[in-house]
Amino acid sequence: MLHLVPIPITQECLTATSSHWMPFLPSIARRSKQTVSELIRQAVRGEVRMTLVWEDTTDKAQALVGVRMHMRGPDLIAEIVWATGRDHKAWIDLLPELEAMLKQAGAVECRPICRPGWSKALKARGYRLTHLQMEKVL
């Protein structure tokens, strides 16, 4: 059975759980064009809050989700900036659980920053397209 395991933003918790979340960082680094060191820095400083998708039968992390929280006027906005792991179709159904955790933390809106392939799965779960982000290497 899959469930979410949020990692508290303390040095002790990050160190104690690093063997579970560190293996996912090279994949995130490749896609985000950031270094693994930079991703670790973001986690240690609390800029990105990490949550593991945990598989009880194997007693291992199957995926890692990272959320950046920021204020938009008086509202706390949660942006899913990292989502990587094995068999995303198995854990995308945990999105309501993640949304509930974010709401409990005070967020009023969840904004996944995702690759185009995720849009169909997100639309089926009540998300709508509000912005389009494009990039160009200069």
**What CATH number corresponds to the domain at position 75?**
3.40.630.30
Q: Which residues have C-beta within 8 Å of that of residue 119, sequence separation ≥ 6?
A: 129
pTM, two decimal places: 0.88
- Residue 137 falls within a domain, yes or no? no
Per-residue pLDDT of 39-87, as tens digits, reads: 999 999 999 999 999 999 999 999 999 999 999 999 999 999 999 998 8
Residue 30, domain member (yes or no): yes
CA neighbor of 50 nearest in space, from 100, 96, 8: 8
What's the Rg (C-alpha) of the chain? Answer: 15
In a domain, residue 132? The reply is no
Q: Which two tokens stand for residue 95?
A: 């999105």
Total count of domains within the chain? 1
Residue 105 has a pLDDT of 96
Per-residue pLDDT tens digits for 88-136: 888 889 999 999 999 999 999 999 988 788 888 889 999 898 877 777 6
pLDDT in tens, 14-46: 999 999 999 999 999 998 999 999 999 999 999
Is residue 134 situated within a structural domain?
no
3-state helix, strand, coil in the chain (%, to 5): 40, 30, 30
Range of the domain at 19: 2-123
Whether residue 131 is contained in a domain is answered as no
Q: Does any domain span residue 136?
A: no
